[in-house]
Amino acid sequence: MKHRLISLGSLVPFLAAATLVSGVCAVQRDRSVLPTVEGTFSSTVAYDNYQLVEGLGTGWGYACVIATPDKKILFDTGADSPTLISNMEGLDIEPDSMEIVVLSHAHLDHVGGLDGFLQRKGHVTVYIPSSFPNSVRDVITARGEEYEDVTDATEISAGFHTTGEMGGAIIEQSVVLDTPVGSVVITGCAHPGIVSIVARAKEMLPGKEVHFVMGGFHLLSASDSQLTSIIGAFRDLGVQKVAPSHCSGDRCQQLFKEEYGIHYIESGVGHTTIYSRTRPTLTRVGSTLSLSWEPFDTGAYAVQFRDDLLSGKWRNAPGTWPITDTIWTEPDISQVDKRYYRIVSR
């Protein structure tokens, strides 16, 4: 992530992750195992009409920063570059660190920030659907950058795939991450149909579970029966977690939430997910400090803390009990470097 998701260095010098014993993850202080996002996959929503982190800008559109062990990628650019770049900086993501840009489709709410971003950041390759209008290619070449036309499903870099062009009236590509916890599907607007995109992702990575589907699902005007059918198809495809945002629609979010429960993840600008089986990870997004972890069963979780590692009573951390998400946020950031944390499964 980081994009610096975390160098909490000065902020939390010793917090780190730890051991998984009988369903308990203890978070201990040991600089040698300071959690890092190096070598892992992550995604951070940098532009959305939904806001998850206070202080970040919103606008109708979508952009997501993806980190793989090898590359840092900007997927879509939102509707305007000032909001995009301001959000990236607010999330401690250096725009200059991006190496690849992938554009889902040619609508302004996804390509509107491209020119301003390229003006700020040079030396990237922009992957566009082959059917894109030349006006977009002109924007890229006018800034001295290169583009690659995409037609078929392709692995752009290790573990980072595009679905290739999909759809009819509106051609779109989505991206698929091949992570240690399964496939992660990220969509811009899902004009070709969110179910078709997830099915394509399953074909591309046979034998991989679909761990997470996030982004715009394009279901703003879908009826309840259509939404119910789509949610059923998600279950049939084995989708484990969902985070619909952007053009998904409030009703879509509500019905997915009812079906997926703790595996429904609230998303919006500032939402970060780390895809790793390694231990709880401490992350900072803006001024918010979070512990995130992969569930080790299907139950709910709680975060507990105590002020001394070897003595003292574990107390439930502030927040909802039980924790019904796989990300917990410490409301009192001033206490973080004084406490020891653990995650317990109920």
Q: How far is the CB of 34 from Fe ion (least distance, A)?
A: 38
DSSP class of residue 10 equals: T
Q: How far is CA 78 from CA 103, 118, 148, 224, 339, in A?
A: 10, 13, 20, 28, 39
Tell me the C-alpha distance between 59 and 62, whole Å: 8
**Least separation in angstroms between CB 76 and Fe ion:** 8
CB 260 within 8 A of CB 244: no
Restricted to residues 1-40, the positions that interact with Fe ion (CB under 5 A) are none
Nearer to Fe ion, 43 or 304 (CB): 43
Point out which residues pair with 51 in neighbouring strands.
269
189 binds Fe ion (CB under 5 A): yes
Q: How many residues bind Fe ion (CB under 5 A)?
A: 3
DSSP line for 38-82: TTSEEEEEEE-SSBSSTTS---SS-EEEEE-SS-EEEE---S-HH
- Of 76 and 178, nearer to Fe ion (C-beta) is 76
Q: To the nearest whole angstrom, how small is the minimum distance from the Cβ of residue 246 to Fe ion?
A: 6
Q: What's the sign of the alpha-carbon dihedral 196, 197, 198, 201?
A: positive
From 81-89, 102-110, 117-125, 202-210, give the range in contact with Fe ion by CB under 5 A: 102-110
Tokens representing residue 75 in the block: 């997927």
Window contacting Fe ion (CB under 5 A); options: 15-23, 79-87, 185-193, 257-265: 185-193
Q: Are 231 and 255 in contact (CB under 8 A)?
A: yes
Of 80, 109, 172, 330, the one binding Fe ion (CB under 5 A) is 109
Judged by beta carbon, residue 43 or residue 179, the one nearer Fe ion is 43
148 φ/ψ angles, rounded to the nearest 5 degrees: -125, 130
Q: Helix crossing, 224-236 with 250-260: angle to 10°?
A: 40
Site stretch for Fe ion (CB under 5 A), options 107-115, 165-173, 254-262, 285-293: 107-115
Residue 103 beta carbon to Fe ion: minimum distance, rounded to whole angstroms: 12
Rounded to a whole number of angstroms, the minimum distance from the CB of residue 237 to Fe ion is: 23
Segment 279 to 308, residues that bind Fe ion, using CB under 5 A: none
Q: Are 143 and 118 in contact (CB under 8 A)?
A: yes
Least distance from C-beta 110 to Fe ion, angstroms?
Answer: 6
**Residue 290 beta carbon to Fe ion: minimum distance, rounded to whole angstroms:** 27
**Structure-token match 């952007």, residue found:** 246
Identify which of 324, 315, 320, 312 has the alpha carbon closest to the alpha carbon of residue 342: 315
Stretch that binds Fe ion, among 101-109, 261-269, 304-312, 328-336 (CB under 5 A): 101-109
User: Which residue is nearest to Fe ion, using beta carbons?
Assistant: 189
| Whole-angstrom distance, CA of residue 123 vs CA of residue 143 | 10
Q: Nearest distance from residue 181's CB to Fe ion, in Å?
A: 27
The span of 106-114, 115-123, 220-228, 266-274 binding Fe ion (CB under 5 A) equals 106-114
Residue 18 or residue 219: which is nearer to Fe ion going by CB? 219
Residues 6+ apart with CB under 8 A from 6: 35, 36, 37, 282, 283, 284
Residue 64 touches Fe ion, criterion: CB under 5 A: no
Q: Of 133-141, 247-255, 284-292, 301-309, which segment contacts Fe ion by CB under 5 A?
A: 247-255
Least distance in angstroms from the C-beta of 229 to Fe ion: 22
What helix, strand, coil percent values describe the chain, rounded to 5? Answer: 25, 30, 45
Does 171 bind Fe ion (CB under 5 A)? Our answer is no
Stretch that binds Fe ion, among 67-75, 113-121, 244-252, 322-330 (CB under 5 A): 244-252
- By the criterion CB under 5 A, which residues form the site for Fe ion? 109, 189, 247
